[in-house]
Amino acid sequence: MSIKNIIDAKAIERALTRIAHEIIEKNKGLEDIVILGIPTRGVHIAKRLRDILEATEGVHLPVGSVDATLYRDDIGMKQDQPMLKETDIPVSIDNKKIIIIDDVLFTGRTIRAAMNVIMDFGRPANIQLAVLIDRGHRELPIRPDYVGKNVPTSMQEKVKVRLKEIDGADEVVVEAE
Amino acid sequence: MRLKRKDILTIEDLTRDEIELILSTAGSFREVSEREIKKVPTLRGRTIINLFYEASTRTRTSFEIAAKRMSADAINISASSSSVVKGETLKDTAKNLEAMNPDCIVLRHPSSGAPDMLARFVKCPVINAGDGSHEHPSQALLDLLTIKEKLGRIDGLKITIVGDIAHSRVARSNIYGFTKLGAKVNVVAAPTMMPMGIEEMGCTIINRVEDAISVADVIMILRVQLERHKVPLFPSLREYSRLFGLDKEKMERAKKDVVILHPGPINRGVEISPEIADGPYSLILDQVKNGVAVRMALFYLLLGGGRE
């Protein structure tokens, strides 16, 4: 098995800073923005992004988590059912601009499920998507609005995002058989 | 992670790891019931039959709400309005229900062991919703979840169970559940309501109610099950209430941060006085709330995995 290190701690920090500025630019500020991370690592990235955004614009931003497990399209197909994680949407999302945060964008199926969860909580003005890594191979018509880094991969490879909060270090690696 | 079993029939069968998996899954399901749209699409297209041969409000409603919040179709059958009154046996009822291809059957039955028999007749998962004086596993699981939510742990707690131990499936399931998760269980009851050999389940008999109350972190009160008593087991309800009913006076000996559970339905003024049932120590309504989450978790863990 070969392991290839694609980005390090410094590059992750730069990517998040750039995404933060793109969010502010595209939305002409941070009014009505709600940030929702997809557990587990998406939630930690969401909190880091929130910190950068708040420091830049001097405003308070609500941040929460949205677990898509119960809305997945493969329930009853896999032998083992996936473990549930936390959904915590702290404010009303009606007419808000939602930014979904995930670590790796792959088939797009998790994002589809997450959007359905969000729609059951209310009617947002729009939903945007920010990811640290886009590894391609989409199976649904979903595209990210903000990307930390595009990483072309083969289906056999695995992309792993490691974060200080959980894994003790910040890095992104690609593992191949 | 998954439950490697087809049915949930008893707590006695479950391992500590399985119980903890159910509790942590149920903990995640609590939030779904607090949403504005209290429904997730997880079990769309699945059919769950609630087959109840005994009266029930809480348990039947709880299983039905749990199924519906998971988007499964729930069908309720009660014995009094079914072919049981025409003399159909449980086996024939089961075979006929199975022909309609349900994905799960929840059974409550007055005979101990009936769910075990049903599970051998049908291919779909069976959940025991209370069988005779044998077990009531989902009740014990919701009791464990309620205590874990309030006190943060089960391990090392002292649990006192007061009341009609001999006729109580809730007591049996709870004794297994608490001891498996590392709690110490004391039981106290009138001698006519204390079954022989109960110590073999891993609990300790305490003779005086006052002693059992003063050591407890958790007090669980059981209902006096008059409908199961073939002969009177005590002279009068008033005497029972005076000796074993939990009231303000007896609670004076309890620890300050004790919590009180009761599986319902409560006989106010018999095994528990109204001011205690409605008082600050009481977790009775938390139990009911957690019941829905536990049953959603059971459906998810039994039906959400792959088909063999």
**Domain parsing of chain B, residue ranges:** 16-135+288-303, 137-287
CA distance B271 to B266: 8
Distance to chain B for A91, nearest Cα, Å: 12
Residue B280 has pLDDT above 70, yes or no: yes
Write down all domains in chain A, each with its CATH number in brackets.
Answer: 2-176 (3.40.50.2020)
Cβ-proximal residues to B196 (8 Å cutoff; 6+ apart), any chain: none
Q: How far is the first Cα of chain B from the last one, in angstroms, to the nearest whole number?
A: 16
Backbone angles phi, psi at B268, to 5 degrees: -60, 130
Euclidean distance between CA atoms B161 and B289, whole angstroms: 21
Most B-contacting residue of A65, A69, A70 (CB-CB within 10 A), to test interface: A70
Nearest to B305 among A80, A85, A122 (CB): A80
Report the residue of chain A nearest B2, measured CA to CA.
Answer: A80
CATH number for the domain whose boundaries are B137-287 = 3.40.50.1370
A120 reaches B (C-beta below 8 A)? yes
- Write the residue in A80, A85, A86 that is nearest to B2 by C-beta: A80
CA–CA min distance B297, chain A (Å):
10
Q: How many residues are there in chain B? A: 308
Section B20-26 average pLDDT: 95
| pLDDT tens, N- to C-terminus, chain A (177 residues) | 788 888 999 999 999 999 999 999 999 999 999 999 999 999 999 999 999 999 999 999 999 999 999 999 888 777 777 888 999 999 999 999 999 999 999 999 999 999 999 999 999 999 999 999 999 999 999 999 999 999 999 999 999 999 999 999 999 999 987
* Residue A161, H or E segment: strand A158-162
**CB B31 to CB A86 under 8 A?**
yes
Interface test with A, best of B31, B71, B301 (most A CBs within 10 A): B31
- Rounded CA-CA distance A171/B51 in Å is 54
Residue type, A130: A
pLDDT at B1: 58
pLDDT at residue B306 above 70?
no
Q: Which residues of B are catalytic?
A: 58-59, 86, 108, 136
The pLDDT of residue B235 is 86
Is A70 within 8 Å of chain B by CB?
yes
Q: Flag whether residue A121 sits within 8 Å of chain B, measured between CB atoms.
A: yes
pLDDT tens-digit series, residues B111-156? 999 999 999 999 999 999 999 999 999 999 999 999 999 999 999 9
Q: Angle at the Cα of B306 (from B303 to B307), degrees rounded to 5?
A: 85
Closest CA to B294 of B2, B24, B13: B24
Q: Is B307 an 8 Å CB contact of chain A?
A: yes
Q: Answer whether B100 touches A (CB < 8 Å).
A: no
Look at residue A3 in the predicted model and tell me its pLDDT: 86
A83 interface with B at CB cutoff 8 Å: yes
Whether residues B28 and A80 touch (CB distance < 8 A) is answered with: no
**Given this model, what pLDDT does residue B227 score?**
82
Q: Give yes or no for residue B307 having a pLDDT over 90.
A: no
Which one, of B190, B191, B192, B197, lies nearest residue B175 by Cα?
B197
Best B44, B104, B300, B302 member to test A by mutation, with max A CBs in 10 Å, is B300
**How does pLDDT run across B32-77, given as a tens digit for each residue?**
999 989 999 999 999 999 999 998 989 999 999 999 999 999 999 9
Architecture of the structural domain at B16-135+288-303: 3-Layer(aba) Sandwich (3.40)
Q: Is B179 on the interface with A (CB under 8 A)?
A: no
Answer yes or no: do B306 and A71 touch at CB < 8 A: no
Of A77, A85, A122, the CB nearest to B306: A77
Same fold, B16-135+288-303 and B137-287: yes
pLDDT score at B308: 44
Q: Which range is least confidently modeled, A143-147, B26-30, B224-228?
A: B224-228
Q: What is the mean pLDDT of residues B292-300?
A: 97
Handedness of CA B147, B150, B156, B157 (dihedral sign): negative
Phi, then psi, of B107 in degrees rounded to 5: -120, 130
Q: Cα(B69)–Cα(B295) distance, rounded to whole angstroms?
A: 10
- What pLDDT is recorded for position A52? 97
